[in-house]
């Protein structure tokens, strides 16, 4: 089933990203992002290629053709490296085009037959890692909102909509051996082992921590330090 909540939120996320990039000086694109080994240009290149791959996957499935998100992991990594050093104006234009095409593809999903919405698309050929088409609005929103913070230009995770943060915590809560309690919402998440450890904090701080970023600022754990977060 297409994630309609994410589909409604996504235009705002894409618009916020476009606004930040429009104001980002060209010289800043080659500076380090918050992701190890990646410049801001790498982050934007990834977002461009991700949008293009998603749009192509929707089109392929709709037309009954085989689809993958990337041709291979090596091709994905090489394309990011090759695109990251493009002129910022070129990257801005390419991102604008890619997000426009993707938005049209995603907007068509609620009207597609069930076999399109539930079609599985491997990340790369032959992989059992992948997604069903109906998950794409949520996947793209995650990419945009999280990587906007990774650009390290002053747009923090606490600017995320509460509905997005709550959905992100729900999807990532299994990554930690703890019970999670949102201090700004009447909501808790329990791990499978029903551990006695309770981590408390805002939705945004819990969500950010569960992505593996930051040191858990704004969070507290009863009885000791914050537990380990498993790799995403």
- pLDDT the model gives residue 161: 97
pLDDT the model gives residue 19: 97
Give residue 192's pLDDT.
57
SS3 content of the chain, % helix, strand, coil (to 5): 55, 10, 35
pLDDT number for residue 222: 87
Q: What is the pLDDT of residue 1?
A: 76
Place of tokens 């996320």: 13
Give the C-alpha separation, 170 to 207, whole Å: 9
194 has pLDDT over 90: no
Average pLDDT in the 181-186 region? Answer: 95
pLDDT at 232: 74
pLDDT per position as a tens digit, 113-133: 899 999 999 999 999 999 999
The answer to whether residue 223 scores a pLDDT higher than 80 is no
pLDDT greater than 80 at residue 191: no
Domain architecture of the chain: domains with CATH: 4-155 (1.20.120.450), 168-221 (no CATH)
The pLDDT of residue 214: 85
What whole-number percentage of the chain has pLDDT above 90?
88
CA angle 148, 76, 7 (to 5 degrees): 45
Mean pLDDT of the chain: 94
Using pLDDT thresholds of 50, 70 and 90, give the confidence band for residue 162. Answer: very high
Stretch 205-230: mean pLDDT: 92
Dihedral Cα 122, 1, 158, 38, nearest 10 deg: 10
Q: What percentage of residues in the chain have a pLDDT greater than 70?
A: 98
Q: Which of 20-34, 61-75, 189-203 has the highest mean pLDDT?
A: 20-34
For residues 105 and 98, what is the distance between their CA atoms, to the nearest angstrom? 11
| pLDDT at position 36 | 95
Beta bridge partners of 221: 199
Give φ, ψ of 120 to 5 degrees: -90, 135
The pLDDT of residue 230: 82
């Amino acid at each position: 089933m297409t994630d309609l909540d994410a589909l409604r939120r996504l235009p705002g996320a894409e618009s916020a990203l476009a606004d930040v990039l429009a104001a980002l000086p060209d010289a800043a694109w080659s500076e380090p992002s918050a992701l190890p080994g990646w410049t801001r240009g790498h982050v934007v290149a990834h977002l461009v290629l991700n949008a293009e791959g998603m749009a192509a996957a929707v089109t392929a499935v709709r037309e009954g053709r085989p689809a993958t998100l990337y041709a291979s992991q090596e091709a994905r990594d090489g394309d990011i490296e090759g695109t990251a050093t493009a002129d910022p104006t070129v990257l801005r234009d390419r991102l604008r085009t890619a997000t426009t095409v993707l938005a049209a593809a995603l907007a068509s999903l609620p009207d597609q037959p069930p076999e399109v919405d539930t079609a599985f698309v491997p990340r790369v050929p032959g992989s059992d890692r992948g997604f069903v088409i109906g998950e794409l609005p949520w996947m793209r929103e995650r990419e945009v909102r999280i990587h906007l913070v990774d650009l390290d230009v002053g747009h923090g995770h606490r600017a995320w909509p509460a509905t997005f943060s709550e959905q992100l915590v729900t999807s990532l809560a299994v990554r930690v051996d703890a019970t999670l309690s949102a201090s700004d919402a009447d909501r808790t998440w329990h791990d499978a082992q029903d551990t006695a450890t309770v981590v408390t904090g805002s939705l945004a701080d819990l969500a950010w921590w569960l992505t593996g970023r930051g040191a858990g600022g704004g969070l507290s754990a009863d009885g000791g330090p914050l537990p380990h977060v498993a790799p995403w």
